Amino acid sequence: MTVSEYIKETRGELKHVSWPTRKQAMTYTVIVIIVSLLTAAFLGFFDFLFSLGIQELLTKFIS
């Protein structure tokens, strides 16, 4: 397969793609950002709790 054949086939395939509207793209982007922030907060909270727990355990065993 040559490069020109690849480009022609790629263009043909892109015509079959169902692209989202601008409103859909904005909505999905906002959803991804919100879910990412919630996930970061959730993981950060439990990381903080586990860090405190490990710190307490270490201070009890070292002291």
Q: What is the pLDDT of residues 27-62, one digit of tens each?
A: 999 999 999 999 999 999 999 999 999 999 999 888
Q: What is the pTM of this model?
A: 0.67
Q: Which residues contact 28 (CB under 8 A, 6 or more apart)?
A: 20
Under the banding of pLDDT at 50, 70 and 90, the label for residue 21 is very high
- Residues listed for the chain: 63
63: pLDDT strictly greater than 80: no
CB-neighbour burial class of residue 39 (10 A; exposed 0-12, middle 13-18, buried 19+): exposed
- What are the backbone dihedrals phi and psi of residue 19, each rounded to the nearest 5 degrees, phi first? -80, 140
Q: How far apart are CA 6 and CA 44, in angstroms?
A: 45
Confidence of residue 19 (pLDDT cuts 50, 70, 90): very high
Percent helix, percent strand, percent coil in the chain, to nearest 5? 85, 0, 15
